[in-house]
Amino acid sequence: MDTNAFEALDSAVIAAALRAPVRFSLALLDNCASTSTLLLDRAQQGAPSGSVVVCERQTAGRGRRGRSWLSAPGDSLTFSLLWRFPEGTPPPAGLSLAVGVAVARTLEGMGAAGVRLKWPNDILVDGAKLGGILIETLSSGGRHAAVIGIGLNVRLPREIAAAVDAPAGALEAVMPFAPSRNLLLAGLLDGLAAMLDEFARSGFAGLIEEWLARNAHAGQPVRLIAEGAAPVEGRCAGVDADGALLLKTETGLRRIVSGEVSLRQP
């Protein structure tokens, strides 16, 4: 029997595995509506940078554009991280793409093969979705903060695979063995902290080449779907320094801002 299937999340194990545990404050929950919703509330009440909420069962987990995020206890890792940027740092444009780079670095470092990034916030392998990223920002007095929500499939129970409308994947299929969720979370938090330090210095521009190297749709024909508008088709020409998608169309190069559309293959 695979004992990892029943591995409980343990704050002591996670803290011991972190390179810099002092940078994080962990809250492990059995149930909540949404880790990001909860952490947004805590952020508005003054929660410090580095606050993390991890939850086994989300009853109202949220993805991009109002979609639900489905997870299974013991088989998924769902958490949110609050990060407050230094005073004078500009608004965090392109942050969802930068977070994708941090997640890919961590997964590759743990032995995952073929990790690719789909603009603006999906983590893929062989076209199947391993996980997603949701960024929500707060600004006050010229200072900016972000709640970074991440969901990853460690394994893929049949009920989750049957409930989603796109190919879904899991880490156990692309790694030598399913990773410890405690070690995975510690690695992701360390990777995010390192990336966010880079991001504060140079923004997404300093990470763009790493994102482009993992671009799942580089040079491929894609279709952009937006509510209330006709689909737009073109070839994926990469991304700009602020994280906007560059789309080569019959009428020229277009910049597409994250949050407006859904990217699909025609």
Residues taking part in catalysis: 64, 129, 264
Torsion angle, CA of 73/184/192/33, rounded to 10 degrees? 10
26: tokens are 């962990």
Please report how the helices 95-109 and 181-202 are oriented relative to each other, as an axis angle in degrees rounded to 10. Answer: 140
Question: Which of 32, 53, 55 minimizes the C-alpha distance to 42?
Answer: 53
- Evaluate whether 194 touches 207 at the Cβ level (below 8 Å): no
Per-residue burial over 25-57, b if 16 or more Cβ lie within 10 Å, else e, is ebbbeeebebbbbbbbebbeeebebbbbbbbbe
Question: Which of 147, 152, 148, 157 minimizes the C-alpha distance to 183?
Answer: 152
Alpha carbon separation from 19 to 16, 47, 99, 182 (Å, rounded): 8, 22, 19, 14
SS3 1: coil
Question: Which of 135, 131, 128, 80 minimizes the C-alpha distance to 107?
Answer: 131
Q: What does the alpha-carbon distance between residue 51 and residue 42 come to, in Å, rounded to a whole number?
A: 9
